[in-house]
């Protein structure tokens, strides 16, 4: 158990709908990352937050948004869903940005999203 909690574990929804994925980082971790894993594109970095502020943005679509709340949990909002958005969405967390070299990130078990 990595200590990173993601909900829901599985979600099936229709095209055009909106969903919210939730992540609770490990206790004490300030940085949260979101990744998308699909069969054809591997593990894609979406976005990173640090202590409530957006830190880095990767291949995140405009239909997707995220935020990190004062209690450090994070939500990833996916809207106007398309079939191609079906994937496993991972949250990960780490202690800080510049704790020194080798700062490890810890992954949750992921949220499986199926768009039908």
Partner 1 sequence: GDSVTQMEGPVTLSEEAFLTINCTYTATGYPSLFWYVQYPGEGLQLLLKATKADDKGSNKGFEATYRKETTSFHLEKGSVQVSDSAVYFCALSVSTGNQFYFGTGTSLTVIP
Residue 101 CA to its chain's centroid (Å): 23
Q: Does 96 bind partner 1 (CB under 8 A)?
A: yes
What is the Cα–Cα distance from 73 to 54, expressed in whole angstroms? 13
Q: Does 101 bind partner 1 (CB under 8 A)?
A: yes
Residues 49-78 that bind partner 1 (CB under 8 A): 55-56
* DSSP conformational letter for 97: S
Smallest distance, partner 1 to C-beta of residue 63, A: 23
Q: Where does residue 79 fall: left (phi above 0), alpha (psi -120 to 50 degrees), or beta otherwise?
A: beta
Interface with partner 1 by CB under 8 A: which residues?
2, 4, 31, 33, 35, 42-43, 45, 48, 55-56, 90, 92, 94, 96-110
């Amino acid at each position: 158990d990595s200590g990173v909690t993601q909900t829901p574990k599985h979600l099936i929804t229709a095209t055009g709908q909106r969903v919210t994925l939730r992540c609770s980082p490990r206790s004490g971790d300030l940085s949260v990352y979101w990744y998308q894993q699909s069969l054809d594109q591997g593990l894609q970095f979406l976005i990173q937050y640090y202590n409530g502020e957006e830190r880095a943005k990767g291949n995140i679509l405009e239909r997707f948004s995220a935020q990190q709340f004062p209690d450090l949990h994070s939500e990833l909002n996916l809207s106007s869903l398309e079939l191609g958005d079906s994937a496993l969405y991972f949250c990960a967390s780490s202690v800080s940005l510049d704790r020194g070299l080798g700062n490890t990130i810890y992954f949750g078990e992921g949220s499986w999203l199926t768009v039908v």
